[in-house]
């Protein structure tokens, strides 16, 4: 029973890190630009497909370092797409009402999904994790796939890196200033437009790298674009809209609650994520980290 519980919590933490890795870029974009980006899912899918194609191209062997390098390349390419998207779309959304900007990023999601279908087709594909990550660890009675442990570590590392960047580096403080008051920041000599472009590039880079890291976890199909968006939105909004710390905590709370409830309560698996989310939103409409910065 206890070992069961540990296993269930482990599974919850694993999905929490998957959601957090996906939602990190979303949080950055929302925290600074106040744009809730539906299309993040589309660019995540682009990253995943790019990683899949690059892996195919480089041959059957997939050492760990190559898997990581490919994820970074996917991140860089998607980050570059971010520059284009920012110029053509996101920059114009700043004067637009929140609802319209949500709909515009949904349109962008459709567009990207269509392009993915055109390039990679509609067949479902899959990819194995690198050999180093395909084993299983056993601690007591709990079986932990090495790949899941890797994702846990990656999620944690990403969280620590973002926290450090945002709260302890000069760049992070500049980003905070742009997020809090763009006008004041510009008066004080911060190049706000340029900063915003770089934040979009950063957010898109995170989407691409998430795609590269999470391919072995998914069946690769064009519907991948919509898979995590809703859960990531949930973590983002429960966490307090644009706080990395809040999103991290909310992802853990929602996913572990869902994992526990799906195992021990009767009902539809997966639905508890949304029930917890709705309950938390009603209890704390401002999110876990009320008024928090980034």
Partner 1 sequence: MQAAAALAALVMALLLPEIAGQGLVFLAGLLWINMVFGFSWNLMFRQTGLVSFGHAAFFAIGGYGYAVLARAWPGLPPLLVFVAAGALGAVAALVVGVVALRRSLGVYFAIFSLALSQIVAMVISDLPSLGRDDGFAGIRRPVLDLGVATIKLAEGDNYYRFLVLSCALLTLIVWWVTHSRTGRRFRAVQQDAERAAFLGIAVARQRLLCFVIAAAVAAVAGALYGPWLQLLTPELAQWTFSARPILFTLLGGAASFWGPAVGALGFTVLEYATRTLHGVGEITVGGILLIVVLIFPGGIIGGIIGGVRGALGRARPVAGA
Asked if 5 touches partner 1 (CB under 8 A), the answer is no
Asked if 234 touches partner 1 (CB under 8 A), the answer is yes
- CB 262 to partner 1: min, Å: 11
- Helix H or strand E encompassing 139: strand 136-139
- Contact status, residue 114 vs residue 219, Cβ threshold 8 Å: no
- CB 247 to partner 1: min, Å: 13
Q: Which of 19, 82, 113, 158 binds partner 1 (CB under 8 A)?
A: 113
Asked if 292 touches partner 1 (CB under 8 A), the answer is no
Number of residues that bind partner 1 (CB under 8 A): 43
Looking at residues 168 to 187 of the shown chain, list those that interact with partner 1 (rule: CB under 8 A): none
- Contact status, residue 199 vs residue 32, Cβ threshold 8 Å: yes
- CB 161 to partner 1: min, Å: 27
Six-digit token string for 77 = 């390419």
- CB 200 to partner 1: min, Å: 16
Looking at residues 116 to 145 of the shown chain, list those that interact with partner 1 (rule: CB under 8 A): 116-118, 121-122
Asked if 107 touches partner 1 (CB under 8 A), the answer is yes
Asked if 268 touches partner 1 (CB under 8 A), the answer is yes
CA pair distance 119, 255, nearest whole angstrom:
33
- Contact status, residue 238 vs residue 287, Cβ threshold 8 Å: yes
152 closest CA partner among 248, 244, 40: 248
Q: Which residues of 112-138 are buried (b: 16+ CB within 10 A; e: fewer)?
A: bbeebeeebeeeebebebbeebeeeee
Asked if 230 touches partner 1 (CB under 8 A), the answer is yes
285 closest CA partner among 223, 241, 229, 230: 241
Binding segment toward partner 1, per CB under 8 A, in 57-65, 98-106, 191-199, 208-216: 98-106
- CB 286 to partner 1: min, Å: 9
Asked if 226 touches partner 1 (CB under 8 A), the answer is yes
Q: For residue 16, how many other CB atoms are within 10 A of its CB?
A: 27
User: Cβ closer to partner 1: 202 or 234?
Assistant: 234
List Cβ<8 Å contacts ≥24 apart for 65-70.
66/130, 67/129, 67/130, 67/133, 67/212, 70/212
User: Cβ closer to partner 1: 63 or 114?
Assistant: 114
Which residue ranges make up the site for partner 1 (CB under 8 A)? 36, 89, 92-93, 96, 98-100, 102-104, 106-118, 121-122, 222, 226, 230, 233-234, 237, 268-271, 274-275, 277-278, 281-282, 285
């Amino acid at each position: 029973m206890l070992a069961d519980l540990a296993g269930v919590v482990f599974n919850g933490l694993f999905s929490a890190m998957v959601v957090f890795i996906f939602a990190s870029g979303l949080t950055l974009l929302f925290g600074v630009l106040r744009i809730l980006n539906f299309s993040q899912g589309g660019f995540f899918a682009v990253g995943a497909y790019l990683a899949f194609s690059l892996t195919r191209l480089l041959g059957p062997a997939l050492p760990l370092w190559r898997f990581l390098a490919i994820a970074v390349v996917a991140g860089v390419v998607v980050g570059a797409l971010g520059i284009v998207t920012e110029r053509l779309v996101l920059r114009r959304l700043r004067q637009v009402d929140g609802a319209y900007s949500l709909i515009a990023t949904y349109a962008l999601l459709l567009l990207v999904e269509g392009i993915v279908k055109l390039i990679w087709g509609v067949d479902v594909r899959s990819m194995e994790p690198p050999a180093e990550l395909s084993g299983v660890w056993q601690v007591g009675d709990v079986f932990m796939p090495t790949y899941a442990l890797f994702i846990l570590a990656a999620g944690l590392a990403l969280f620590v890196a973002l926290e450090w960047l945002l709260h302890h580096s000069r760049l992070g403080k500049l980003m905070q200033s742009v997020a809090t008051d763009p006008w004041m920041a510009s008066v004080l000599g911060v190049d706000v437009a340029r900063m915003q472009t770089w934040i979009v590039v950063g957010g898109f880079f995170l989407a691409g790298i998430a795609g590269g890291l999470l391919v072995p976890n998914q069946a690769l199909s064009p519907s991948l674009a919509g898979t995590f968006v809703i859960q990531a939105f949930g973590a983002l909004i429960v966490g307090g809209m644009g706080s990395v710390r809040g999103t991290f905590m909310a992802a853990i709370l929602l996913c572990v609650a869902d994992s526990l409830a799906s195992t021990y309560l009767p009902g539809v698996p997966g639905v508890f994520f949304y029930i917890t989310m709705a309950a938390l939103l009603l209890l704390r409409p401002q999110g876990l980290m009320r008024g928090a910065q980034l």
